[in-house]
Amino acid sequence: MANSMKSATFLMESRLAEAASGDAEALYDLGIAYSTGSGGIDVDLIEAHKWFNLAALNGSEEAMTCRAEISDEMTAREIAEAQKEARAWLSSIERRAA
């Protein structure tokens, strides 16, 4: 059990690092992880929407589809929160790059 948690943590950390560089596939993978609860992560549709939104901004058509699908299960407030978190994440990446 501990090893699977360590590998899940490593996978998430590596995908986050790749996502920070604008890797659409990494962003999409994070959306999948949060939308399905894979890798030992709790399902979190707000986080999933955020990552799918960021992947879509980087050209992922699959992410656009997934974002639309999970939006049907979310309230307008949850979608607004996900969009706010996506903007905040982009801001933090831009500050680090500056």
pLDDT beyond 90 at 8: no
Cβ(75)–Cβ(40) under 8 Å? no
pLDDT at 62: 97
pTM for the predicted model, two decimal places? 0.87
pLDDT at 30: 93
